[in-house]
């Protein structure tokens, strides 16, 4: 073993230098520390490489997902233009399907109690009106009427009628807006709902 201070050659198991007397044990003890610090450096470098690989992998998949969604949009646009061509060449079947998907949609609902009247504007189209009312008590004039220029309906109770809810409905078709009057007298509650077929 060579002395680190004077360079004198000593036996391998010597604890002190035979020339200068310096301790030879200190150098042997410092070697494991150096090895540990080198090992720590290797671990840190390995972790940095693993993290870099993870970031690169996530970025790669994110870019692929983005380009895939872009391709999906292109496919959707292409299929949309194809469906437009098909629908224009088969306009009669498209009209039939459109008609079959129509239903009665509520366009206005009104309710109240007591006595009074309301004026309602109804848009053009195929219209259905449903109404019901419950009277305060039997009078010859208890009623709920819905009256317009195209159609009308209503319920009333006579002096000998049962105190019960009564209902009515009617339909009409008009190419222009219509004005209806809801007239109600001596009611506990009433309700009128307008539907349009669309």
- As averages over each run of 10 residues, the pLDDT of the chain (198 residues) reads 87 88 67 66 92 92 73 54 56 58 94 95 96 90 93 92 93 95 95 96
Rg (CA), the chain: 47
Q: What is the pLDDT of residue 28?
A: 43
Burial of 146 (0-12, 13-18, 19+ CB in 10 A): buried
Please, are residues 197 and 102 in contact by the beta-carbon 8 Å criterion? yes
At 70 the pLDDT is 57
**pLDDT for position 132:** 97
Q: For the domain 102-197, what is the CATH code? A: 2.60.120.340
Structure tokens at 130: 């449903």
pLDDT at 131: 97
Domain boundary assignment for the chain: 1-101, 102-197
CB 184 within 8 A of CB 142: no
User: What confidence score (pLDDT) does residue 35 get?
Assistant: 60
Let me know: does 176 contact 84? Beta carbons within 8 Å: no
């Amino acid at each position: 073993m060579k002395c680190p201070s004077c360079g004198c050659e000593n036996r391998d198991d010597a604890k002190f230098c035979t020339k200068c007397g310096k301790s030879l044990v200190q150098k042997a003890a410092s070697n494991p520390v150096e090895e540990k610090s080198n090992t720590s450096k290797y671990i840190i470098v390995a972790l940095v490489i693993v993290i870099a690989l993870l970031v690169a992998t996530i970025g790669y998949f994110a870019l692929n997902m983005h380009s895939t969604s872009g391709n999906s949009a292109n496919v959707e646009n292409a299929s949309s233009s194809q469906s437009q061509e098909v629908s224009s060449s088969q306009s009669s079947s498209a009209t039939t399907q459109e008609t079959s998907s129509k239903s009665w949609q509520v366009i206005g609902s009104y309710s109240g109690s007591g006595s009074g009247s309301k004026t309602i504007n109804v848009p053009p189209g195929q219209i259905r009106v449903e109404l019901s009312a419950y009277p305060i008590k039997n009078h010859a004039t208890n009623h709920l009427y819905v009256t317009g220029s195209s159609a009308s309906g209503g319920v009333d109770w006579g002096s000998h009628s049962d105190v019960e809810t009564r209902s009515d409905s009617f339909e009409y078709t008009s190419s222009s807006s219509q004005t209806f009057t809801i007239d109600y007298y001596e009611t506990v509650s009433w309700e009128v709902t307008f539907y349009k077929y669309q």
